Structure 1
Amino acid sequence: MGFLKPDPPQEDPRALLARPFLERIRILSAHWVEHGFGAPRAVSVIYVLKVAVLYCLGGLLVVRYTSDVGTFADFTSWWDEPVLYQKLILWTVLLEALGLAGSWGPLAGHFKPMTGPVGYWLRPGTIRLPPWPGKVPFTAGDERTVGDVLLYAALLASLVVGLVLPGEADGGLTAAVPGSAGGVVSPLVHGVVAVLLVLCGLRDRLIFLGSRGEQYLPAIVLSASLGFTDMVIAWKLLMVVVWLGAGVSKFGKHFTNVIPPMISNAPFNPSVRLRRLHYRDFPRDLRPSSLAWVMGHVFGTTVELGLPLVLLFSPNSTVTLLAAGAMVVFHLFILSTFPLAVPLEWNVLFAFGAVFLFVGYPAQDGYGVLDFSQGWMLPVIVAALAFFPVLGNFRPDLVSFLPSMRQYAGNWASATWAFAPGCEERLNGVKAPARIQVEQMQNMLMAYEKDAAAVAMQMPLAWRSMHSQGRGLFSVLVRHVPDIDHYTVREAEFVCNQLTGWNFGDGHLHDIRLVNALQKRVNFAPGELTVVWAESQAIHQDFQRYQVIDAALGVVERGTWKVADCVERQPWLPEPAGPVPVQVEWVRTVQDTGTLVTEV
């Protein structure tokens, strides 16, 4: 991998692009094993600098110069001030809402500009995606208005106000920590931020999810409504629910498939041999090896299910410190792999939070769950925190995978978009600050040649093929579009980023609702844009539901596939097993007269 040059497959780009679709997937998935996305190493350095300078140093500077906590030389005396943690949460939400944290840059499909959300969400006329337009008054429509822009600007302003204002004195804090000098962020400010975030989310779920509301809104609400000791205990419960939810989501057949491509994408891992060891028999068999299973379920699932409970209930300071240290290592490991949605800041904050909350305010010092002052509220808070993770696992169609706490589970709603020749360029006609990604890549600082950019945009498809749902999506696609070899096939997350400014692996953001919004603006003819879309697997079922969407006709097919069939296939669906079998449940056909006929 070059520092300023990408690391593409050795085959001539034009020759590679001329190969059949599944043959391309075979070559590119094997290339992913050894090289990951293949971005220039400078891209990874930029991410490291962004996290270290903008996020970490920037956040500490904001807290230091807006709060009475002390000097940097005296950091050890104020690292556990509650105002520090509160303002770091607000700082994280601000960067997420601006698009400067997760889903930023080339590894999220933002090449030029590298920042998405703020350029879209401050611009009237761009696409917005309300969560319940037919049920919540004043939220219908898919076009951003001046009012939406002002509401989003008010959210940003409230976050800045919360960061700039000094902490307020708090009687509970003074009683619990007599030497504390920083106070706490005003509950009123937290309340305003919470209200504005909810209002923005009702108008446009992109903003709520883009601000990582499922992670930080509960912390903000708890800060606004509880006394100091109860607030700390509730923060702990929030982190534990996030960890446990992520651990539970890794049950099943999907998760082991996440580990090998994630390890392969770790830019600072120099060992090609170690990358290959995560696959059964490179390059013939790219299913996960036993090492991948151990990495995923021993060092992943077990850690997320066991250590949070140790932290929550440990009566021993040494055990607490060791468990917190292990969680720090866990999050830093995830950060080091640079997953495609690049949730780096989130991992840093959770690593710090493990130390801040459980070491700084350990259970044995009066911050255990039994120390909650109003016992009746404790089960209410736990139930509220667990509500969406539980609902989302049983009814994934109702809840984004983010509030469902399935961040790394491999069990995601997802989609593949296929454009007829020459039709992708029509996306440039949609009001947005960014053009299609192949054009962005040719104009970025580390510019790609045209054909090299086209090959690079196939790499996310290779990544998807190495996950269980990718094999299902491609199986339906090659069956439904017989001449798929001549189509422009794209990973839906990247398309969504270009159209809306943000995506974080949430297939609900590029389902029929985004397709309909796009169709209003572009007016594709039948067959010019075909989308294969799949819902997450419900925790009590063994299949996933899929839809085939024609932009001009709407949903034209529904059905299911077995997850077990997907995980047993190779990424390129070779014979004799071939594509994954599907159970077609509903088909819409078009008769010669043009009349739509529904068949069951």
Structure 2
Amino acid sequence: MGLTQPDFPPVDPATFLDKPFLERLRILGAHWAEYGFGTPKMVHLIYLVKVFVFYAGVGITIATLTSGLNPLHVGEWWNEPIVYQKALLWTVLVEVLGIGGSWGPLAGHFKPMTGGFLYWLRPQTIRLPPWPDKVPFTRGDTRTPFDIAVYSLILVNLVVAIVLPGVSSTSLDSVVADNAGLVNPVLMYPLIPLMVVIGLRDKVIFIAARSEQYLPAIVFFGFLPFVDMIIALKLLMVTVWVGAGVSKMGHHFSMVIPPMLSNTPWLGSKAIKRAHYRNFPEDMRPSKLAGGVGHVLGTIVEIVTPLILLFSTNKWLTLGAVALMVCFHLFILSTFPLAVPLEWNLLFAFAAIFLFWGFPNWDGFGLTETSMPWVMVLIAAALCFFPILGNLRPDLVSFLPSMRQYAGNWASATWAFAPGAEEKLDEFVVRGAKNTRTQLLASYEPEVADVVMHQMMAWRSMHSQGRALFSLMMRHLGDDIDTYTLREAEFSCNSLVAFNFGDGHLHDEKMIAALQRRCNFAPGEFTIAWIESQPIHRGTQRFKVIDAALGVIETGTYRVRDAVGEQPWLPNGPIPFEVDWTLDVDARRAVTDPEVVREPQMRSNGVAQTGVQTPNKVGQ
């Protein structure tokens, strides 16, 4: 891999699409195992400059200078509460602008590299309300001047809170004699409802701001006395860590490790990369080494170490645990995971030092030191509510509030377009950028762009979801799978709504219906295979097949063990599915043929959904 040149797969771009689709996956999957995305190192340098110069350098400079501190004297400000507060608010600003996570080429943003504000300050772009039928004044899927005004006020509120000097706090002065004050809590009062309103109007912005983690902290800044604020922030961090660790107990996380390490720019050893697969390139399932790296260095560390930090009163044990969590986050940052949450990892590394070493349990900041124990119990219960609900009912909660970061257990989708149909997105959807492939055409020949787009699907094939998604496509497209244009939905979604962090809920049937209202696809032109995350107590995952013109046309389940047991290129054919509902032929004809007299039918999202119960097993 060169500084400016990628490690391109060993294929002839001119004839690549002539190969069967599954053969394309096999070739590119083997290439991914050794080279990852093959990204030029210049791209990684751009990310490093963004993170360490813009995010950390500019952020620390603003946070310290506006608080009367010298940014060059680290010992003066590393444990100043106002610096931590402003660092967190700066992170929210960076994320909500769209220049934090899910930014740049590793997230499918090529030209421009930024989504975020280029979409969210633009009228007529797509917005996705979470409960349009239940929450008044949130119906519709088009961004309005009101949405832009609310979003703009959030940006202004954040900037004001970051640049204004701190105010004195009696609760802080009573425990820290010499301090620079706190961010004025009054500035949090408008920010909280603004975030709630924008979330009800457009869940994309709410999730992009990482509100599931930062909004509770903002509430703590606004309403809790200092000691209780620190304790609540500790509970928040431990909930995030432990929730993420618990979610990694299962088959999925082992499958995350090999392709993640294969894409790590500093790991040049092909032997080490290959060792994370059972028998490269014949058996591309994760090896025992990959499972050990995931569940020992990952799961156990992420559960045990935070609990030590929460309860330990031993200085050396606490120091070791802080160092371990800092290394944990810096390691994740160094692998450049495809959602590229680099700023988040850097903030959490700093927060581990600030909260647990700067304000340790033995110095009056342990759980028992709270002045409002019942409030703290309620906070702990509230912090655990969505992780518990999201693991039991993932259909109700995004995987981010569920605290399932990097677990490999994601709602996911694959899109399939009939020849030429994808161009309708470029023609009819208002947004800040064109389709991902169209962006690539600014730098590459069309044939090369097609190979790059397939690399994203090869990455997906190496995870458990890929086996299920491509099996569904094989079943519903048949031989046409070789001629249809298949796309990784996460990247396509990024180009349409500005952000995606691996959350399939951002491109479910509601989002597809929004596209259909703009593009008017004919039946069969745009087919979507969509799967929900695995509930923690079940061994199955639910799936949907969606036709943009018809709505949901099939639902059912598949066994996770069938997906994880297969090879990425499905040499044994599609995995088995248990189909529990399908849209029958007469109902499909009634939707598409205006001459047919339509009987009263069950409806979902305004699309006819009359079907028949057909419990049966299909597949291999």
TM-score by length of 2: 0.95
Q: Distance in 1 between matches of 2:192 and 2:102?
A: 22
Q: Distance in 2 between matches of 1:113 and 1:590?
A: 43
Tell me the residue number matched to 1:490.
487
Tell me the residue number matched to 1:126.
125
Q: Distance in 1 between matches of 2:406 and 2:142?
A: 31
Q: 1:258 aligns with which of 247, 256, 262?
A: 256
Question: Structure 1 residue 366 and structure 2 residue 361: aligned?
Answer: no
Query: Deviations along 1:111-141, whole A, 9 cap, x unmatched?
Result: 0110001010000100000011011110000
Displacement, 1:374? 1.1
Displacement, 1:2? 2.1
AA at the equivalent of 2:85? Q
Tell me whether 125-134 or 36-45 shows the greater mean CA deviation.
36-45
Question: Structure 1 residue 466 and structure 2 residue 462: aligned?
Answer: yes
Tell me the residue number matched to 1:66.
66
Query: Deviations along 1:207-239, whole A, 9 cap, x unmatched?
Result: 100111011001100111100000001100000
Contact in 2 for aligned 1:264/1:275 (Cα 8 Å): yes
Contact in 2 for aligned 1:240/1:312 (Cα 8 Å): yes
Q: 2:543 aligns with which of 543, 546, 549?
A: 546
Contact in 2 for aligned 1:97/1:210 (Cα 8 Å): yes
Displacement, 1:563? 0.2
Displacement, 1:425? 1.3
1:34-433 alignment to 2 at 5 Å? Answer: 34-68=34-68, 70-180=69-179, 182-429=180-427, 430-433=429-432
Q: Distance in 2 between matches of 1:39 and 1:346?
A: 22
Displacement, 1:507? 0.2
AA at the equivalent of 1:190? M
Q: Distance in 1 between matches of 2:192 and 2:263?
A: 36
**Residues paired across the two proteins, number:** 593
Q: CA RMSD in A?
A: 1.0
Question: Structure 1 residue 435 and structure 2 residue 448: aligned?
Answer: no
Tell me the residue number matched to 2:603.
none
AA at the equivalent of 1:412? W
Query: Deviations along 1:52-89, whole A, 9 cap, x unmatched?
Result: 11100011111122112x21332212210000110001
Q: Distance in 1 between matches of 2:65 and 2:326?
A: 27
Q: 1:556 aligns with which of 547, 550, 553?
A: 553
Q: Distance in 1 between matches of 2:373 and 2:240?
A: 22
Contact in 2 for aligned 1:8/1:452 (Cα 8 Å): no
Q: Distance in 2 between matches of 1:133 and 1:94?
A: 26
Q: Distance in 1 between matches of 2:189 and 2:328?
A: 32
Q: Distance in 1 between matches of 2:498 and 2:265?
A: 25
Tell me the residue number matched to 2:601.
none
AA at the equivalent of 2:559? K
Of all paired residues, the percent bearing the same amino acid is 58
Q: Distance in 1 between matches of 2:487 and 2:422?
A: 9
Contact in 2 for aligned 1:310/1:323 (Cα 8 Å): yes
Tell me the residue number matched to 1:591.
586
AA at the equivalent of 1:48? L
Q: Distance in 2 between matches of 1:190 and 1:18?
A: 57
Tell me whether 188-197 or 224-233 shows the greater mean CA deviation.
188-197
Query: Deviations along 1:287-340, whole A, 9 cap, x unmatched?
Result: 001110111010000001100011111111111111000001101111111111
Tell me whether 295-304 or 426-435 shows the greater mean CA deviation.
426-435
Q: Distance in 1 between matches of 2:588 and 2:27?
A: 43
Query: Deviations along 1:340-376, whole A, 9 cap, x unmatched?
Result: 1000000000011101100000001010011111111
Tell me the residue number matched to 2:575.
580
Displacement, 1:14? 2.3
Contact in 2 for aligned 1:392/1:403 (Cα 8 Å): yes
Question: Structure 1 residue 479 and structure 2 residue 462: aligned?
Answer: no
Contact in 2 for aligned 1:103/1:343 (Cα 8 Å): yes
Displacement, 1:589? 2.5
Q: Distance in 1 between matches of 2:335 and 2:587?
A: 52
Q: Distance in 2 between matches of 1:295 and 1:448?
A: 37
Does the C-alpha gap of structure 1 residues 593 and 472 become closer, same or farther in structure 2, counting only changes over 3 Å? closer
Q: Distance in 2 between matches of 1:74 and 1:252?
A: 45
Structure 1 runs (4+) greater than 6 angstroms displaced: none
Displacement, 1:593? 8.8
AA at the equivalent of 2:282? R
Q: 1:510 aligns with which of 507, 511, 514?
A: 507
Displacement, 1:523? 0.3
Contact in 1 for aligned 2:587/2:611 (Cα 8 Å): no
AA at the equivalent of 2:280? F
Q: 2:568 aligns with which of 556, 571, 581?
A: 571
Q: Distance in 1 between matches of 2:425 and 2:547?
A: 16
Displacement, 1:592? 9.7
AA at the equivalent of 2:611? T
Q: Distance in 2 between matches of 1:413 and 1:593?
A: 26
Does the C-alpha gap of structure 1 residues 585 and 592 become closer, same or farther in structure 2, counting only changes over 3 Å? closer
Q: Structure 2: which 5+ runs fail to align?
A: 592-609, 614-620
Contact in 1 for aligned 2:542/2:556 (Cα 8 Å): yes
Question: The residue matched to 2:73 in structure 1 has which SS?
Answer: helix
Q: Distance in 2 between matches of 1:488 and 1:337?
A: 30
Query: Deviations along 1:256-284, whole A, 9 cap, x unmatched?
Result: 00100000110121111111111010000
Question: The residue matched to 1:478 in structure 2 has which SS?
Answer: helix
Contact in 1 for aligned 2:64/2:77 (Cα 8 Å): no
Q: Structure 1: which 5+ runs fail to align?
A: none
Question: The residue matched to 2:174 in structure 1 has which SS?
Answer: helix
1:516-527 alignment to 2 at 5 Å? Answer: 516-527=513-524
Displacement, 1:448? 2.3
Displacement, 1:595? 2.0
Displacement, 1:40? 1.4
Question: Structure 1 residue 452 and structure 2 residue 448: aligned?
Answer: yes
Displacement, 1:415? 0.3
Contact in 1 for aligned 2:550/2:588 (Cα 8 Å): no
Q: Distance in 2 between matches of 1:97 and 1:72?
A: 25
Contact in 1 for aligned 2:71/2:77 (Cα 8 Å): no
